[in-house]
Chains A and B, each alone.
Chain A
Amino acid sequence: MADVIVTQRLSKYYGDKKAVDNLTLRIAEGTVYGLLGRNGAGKSTALKMLVGMVQPSHGRAHILGEDVATLSPQTRGRVAYMAEGHPLYTSMTVGQAVDFTLGFYPAADKHLLGQILDHFSLGRTLRIGRLSKGQRAQVALALAIAPDPQLLILDDPTLGLDTNVRRDFLESMIQIIQRRGRTILFSSHILGDVERVADRIGIMIDGVLRVDCPVEHFKRSVRRVLVEFGRQPPPLPPCEGLVGDWQIGTQRELVFVNFGPRQRAALEALNPVTVDVVELNLEDAFIAYTRGPRRPLPLFAGETSHGQSIGDQGAA
């Protein structure tokens, strides 16, 4: 199976800021890849570099076997890209937008496009500027998939859509997935949707790809470990796989990747009262993994220590 997307140390800097930092990624044909990350992590910039809308600062990107910098029209015709916010010409009618787009894709399936628009009751004479957000997303998706693209790159396609329209969109994605050989790379914040349709996920943090694995692998590998000390928690020795550490009163909340017997032994050595290892669903695992440092919460109810007054609570 060929790799449909290959990047090598793909990077984009804006002044000092590394929006995308040495992204190296391979996506095989037929994969549905969910690119995750908090706002500003670099997902959109990475996707734009893959379709040639943003020029990389350095590094290379190849899609469908061709260098993105010198993409042939034929290959472009096999890639669909949906930008964030589904930009469309609002002064056009649906019919005009269809004709406009089909002009770029002579081989597009007009019948399929007609079917999709009918399915969502999108009349040809409706002006795009007057459509609801959900309707606009449906038009954008219809236009993107009518040419039956081999590769779909979707930048947060369900952003701002209501729950029902989001579900409709997912159903359309499933239909695409069922056509063999189609590859989808999409970014999303709705972890439940990602878990439904994605084979693999990647997680970007501050421009760096920190995770690149099957969905199940990520869920299996991340654990939240709650260590209750019943006293002021001692400092933690360096621990392999520790990605998060927060102190909450007499507890330490830890996030581990591949929590095993060695890590458990290191925690037991600190003489805790209890050590609770919690499995997580995809959303909680993502949050645990990407949550930044949190200020420690002071003790509230009950005892005050070292003469602290109640007035200190406001400082938290």
Chain B
Amino acid sequence: MGFFIDTASRAPIYLQLVQQVREGVARGDLCPEERLPSVRQLSRDLVVNPNTVARAYTELEREGVLVTRPGLGVFVAQPGTELTKAARDRRLGELLDHFLTEAVHLGYAAEQVVRLVTQRAQQFQWHAGAK
């Protein structure tokens, strides 16, 4: 999977990388156990300070998206989560509220939104369903 950074963007570079990895994993472009480029390699490829890459990787590790195996490299973590169902519902709920607010302001009807969500969900790789 290719990464890119946009220095014209308002988002910090490390955050752009974090979001790209997150999305890559969610879409199935990055598979569990797949090895990511080393900090050195990615910083060379993208021409950014290695600290920036390291920060992105650290953040993703904190979130449980990536895992570092000393001496071996950085890998996509197995799916699974430590958050309780309530915490997860809350987090997704917050994101949903942003999304639904936007949809209302754009003039959508609820049924249209549901249809759109179902459609786009097919582009992603879903887990069996969190307990």
Interfacial residues, chain A to chain B (CB-CB below 8 A): 32, 167, 170-171, 174-175, 177-178, 191-193, 195-199, 215-216, 219, 279-283
Contacts and interface: CB of A to CB of B under 8 A. Distances in A.
Given A170-B47, A174-B48, A198-B49, A192 B7 contact: yes
Interface stretch (B9-17, B63-71, B82-90, B114-122): B9-17
Contacts of A170: 47
> Range of interface residues on chain B?
10 to 19
A283 B47 CA distance: 18
Contacts of B12: 215-216, 219
A197 B51 CA distance: 9
B14 to A, nearest CB: 8
A195 B43 contact: no
Contacts of A215: 12
Interface centre among B40, B43, B48, B49, by most chain A C-beta atoms within 10 angstroms, is: B49
A30 to B, nearest CB: 9
B9 A281 contact: yes
Kindly list the 5 A-B residue pairs having the minimum CB-CB distance in the complex, ordered from nearest: A192-B7, A279-B10, A196-B48, A281-B10, A170-B47
A192 B7 CA distance: 5
Interface in B75-121: none
A214 to B, nearest CB: 10
Contacts of B44: 171, 174-175, 178
Contacts, number: 51
Contacts of A219: 10, 12
Given A171-B44, A174-B43, A178-B40, A199 B51 contact: yes
Q: What is the predominant secondary structure among interface residues of chain A facing chain B?
A: helix
Nearest to B44: A174
Contacts of B47: 167, 170-171, 174, 196-197
18 contacts: A32-B49, A174-B47, A177-B50, A191-B7, A192-B7, A193-B7, A195-B13, A196-B13, A196-B49, A197-B47, A197-B48, A198-B49, A199-B51, A215-B12, A219-B10, A279-B10, A280-B10, A283-B8
Given A32-B49, A197-B49, A199-B51, A192 B43 contact: no
Contacts of B49: 32, 174, 177, 196-199
B11 to A, nearest CB: 8
A130 B12 CA distance: 41
B121 to A, nearest CB: 30
Nearest to A169: B47
B9 to A, nearest CB: 6
B119 to A, nearest CB: 31
Interface in B33-57: 40, 43-44, 47-52
B8 A192 contact: yes
Contacts of A279: 10
A51 to B, nearest CB: 24
A178 B50 contact: yes
Contact of B7 (A174, A178, A280, A281): A281
A197 B52 CA distance: 9
A167 B7 CA distance: 13
Nearest to B51: A199
Contacts of B48: 174, 196-197
B50 A282 contact: no
A195 B40 CA distance: 18
A191 B7 CA distance: 8
B7 A196 contact: yes
A74 to B, nearest CB: 29
Nearest to A197: B49
B52 to A, nearest CB: 8
A286 to B, nearest CB: 12
A178 to B, nearest CB: 6
